[in-house]
Amino acid sequence: MISDKMKDYVSKSSIIRAMFEEGKRLAAIYGAENVFDYSLGNPNVEPPEDIKKAITEILSEESPNLVHGYMSNSGYEDVRDIIAKHINKKYDLKLTEDNLIMTCGAAGGLNIVLKTLLNPGDEVITFSPFFGEYENYVKNFDGQLVIVPSNTETFEPDLNALEDAINSKTKAVIINSPNNPTGIVYSEKLIKELGEVLERKQQQLNSSIYLISDEPYREIAYDGVKVPYILNYYRNSIVGYSYSKSLSLPGERIGYVVCNTEMDDFKDVMAALNVANRILGFVNAPSMFQRVIAKCIDSKVDVNIYKKNRDLLYNHLVKIGFSCVKPEGAFYLFPKSLIPDDKEFAKEAKKFNLLIVPGSSFKCPGHFRLSYCISYEQIERSLDSFDKLAKKYI
């Protein structure tokens, strides 16, 4: 008796659950330390000590009915004000609390943005490979996700293909940098050119095309690379931010959406986001963690831990013959599989206790994703399995 839409989702989720069960089965046979689960994006780096300190302070200093109570559906004004000032300082902007809505993570943020923007049949463009949930989020509001392939040598989006894909139904473009699953960071040059394409098409079509940047990995960037802030480059821009990875709080569902003041219908968009947060059932982002964020505004996890993991795993894989774009951010590698059939390759990998996700799940077959947010020691132990896997093909 479940809805037709959900029937499809349930059958897919059974496959994921089967994968998860398989991991547990292998761990039972070989021991957890000999099963190498590269499938999940669950941060292993501990949250900064500041988080615990902030919670303790809040509980002793602030009124419990304030800390755990309802506030505006957009979030506490003082918290939004602190975040706005933080963004202004980092990216030279003039935002206020009125530009922000606190959300249940980036996933909650993307959903209220799409609820706000989409009429049935509207199109949203993204670049493959991409985080598969985008398709579900767009479908939630009867929109259509249009996939524009990236250049698989660099994983940078193909802007000519983007320009061709835009039409009068195009309501938004979703980007994600640092990227899941490739780990690449979009350069300033790329963001500028992307903005130019969108501006040109808006004028041609006399429409508004919103650029939505999904940014759970903004702070997870290496080697001094800069992650450009789209509000500096494009008028109709929206950022969906999450503290899930920057503070290792993925279970707490805390993030925000920030909109460019110069965008079309700014006030209507902000009012609609506020209402969407309420009527989709989020009501508001979890209250105490909003207040924690305000106290920990300058905190960050130790990114160096992820960088060491990246270096160890990337260098080894390249050495033994894998082809892989070197990631500058997030905690994923997206190498080419050693045979064209990535699902078959993932099956082979499992024989060496390596749990990896086929690129097809990100609409980019012939590749596989490794989430290296596991311990350095576990990665070290896994290298031998990669050697054995590679030897079968090289």
* Span interacting with a second copy, options 30-38, 149-157, 190-198, 264-272, rule CB under 8 A: 264-272
Question: Which member of 35, 175, 191, 249 binds a second copy (CB under 8 A)?
Answer: 249
**Interaction of residue 379 with a second copy, rule CB under 8 A:** no
Distance CA 231, CA 226 (A): 15
Nearer to a second copy, 171 or 218 (CB): 171
Q: What is the residue type of 273? A: L
Question: Which member of 23, 43, 216, 329 binds a second copy (CB under 8 A)?
Answer: 43
Q: Are 129 and 359 in contact (CB under 8 A)?
A: yes
**Interaction of residue 204 with a second copy, rule CB under 8 A:** no
Residues 288-307 binding a second copy (CB under 8 A) are 288-289
Structure tokens at 208: 């508004």
Size of the site for a second copy (CB under 8 A): 77
Smallest distance from a second copy to CB 198, Å = 14
Residues in the chain, overall count: 394
* Span interacting with a second copy, options 24-32, 287-295, 307-315, 339-347, rule CB under 8 A: 287-295
Nearer to a second copy, 138 or 346 (CB): 138
Mask of contacts with a second copy, 57-76, x by CB under 8 A? --x----xx-xxxxx-----
Decide: residue 249, CB within 10 A, 0-12 exposed, 13-18 middle, 19+ buried.
buried
Mask of contacts with a second copy, 312-351, x by CB under 8 A? ----------------------------------------
Q: What is the residue type of 135? A: E
SS (H, E, C) 218-281: CCCECCCCCCCCHHHCCCCEEEEEECCCCCCCHHHCCEEEEECCCCCCHHHHHHHHHHHHHHCC
Q: CB count, 10 Å around CB of 219?
A: 18
Mask of contacts with a second copy, 84-123, x by CB under 8 A? --------------------xx-xxxxxx--xxxxx--x-
Nearer to a second copy, 110 or 333 (CB): 110
Q: Are 96 and 104 in contact (CB under 8 A)?
A: no
**Interaction of residue 4 with a second copy, rule CB under 8 A:** yes
**Interaction of residue 144 with a second copy, rule CB under 8 A:** no
Distance CA 132, CA 185 (A): 19
